[in-house]
Structure 1
Amino acid sequence: MVSLIVGVVLMGFCAFACLPCGLGWSGDVINFLKGFGPSFAAFCGLISVFIGFADIKDKKEAKKEELAAKKAEENK
């Protein structure tokens, strides 16, 4: 419950800070988002590549285990 209240308060502060009648930080926020966007996209892309490699590796291991299970059944 406390985290919900803190989250609502912080979102309210963010909205207030970006309003022209508030703190007027809207220009700074836009500049931050312009600079942060490409970096965040590159980071997400890198993480996606690592997840893709791990998925391919897991599929290969699953095939090997499946073949080993089939061989074990045939040998019985």
Structure 2
Amino acid sequence: MHSSILSACLWGHLKKTNTLIGHVGLSKISDGVEIGYAIGMDYQGNGYATESVGAFSIWAKNTTSFLMEKNS
């Protein structure tokens, strides 16, 4: 169960066509932090989710303080 609403979110798009293809985000949950993502059906199987989650995880670790905060 989520202990707070979505805390950070990034929308993904293809640069060459400026097409929105999905999103990745973080939510605080009772045991820590949960990462979630969605990629449009036409864009699945191309490594976009792996690339997005990896890059977003690095960004979140380096820029968000809520990852280090203990949930109450």
Same fold (TM over 0.5): no
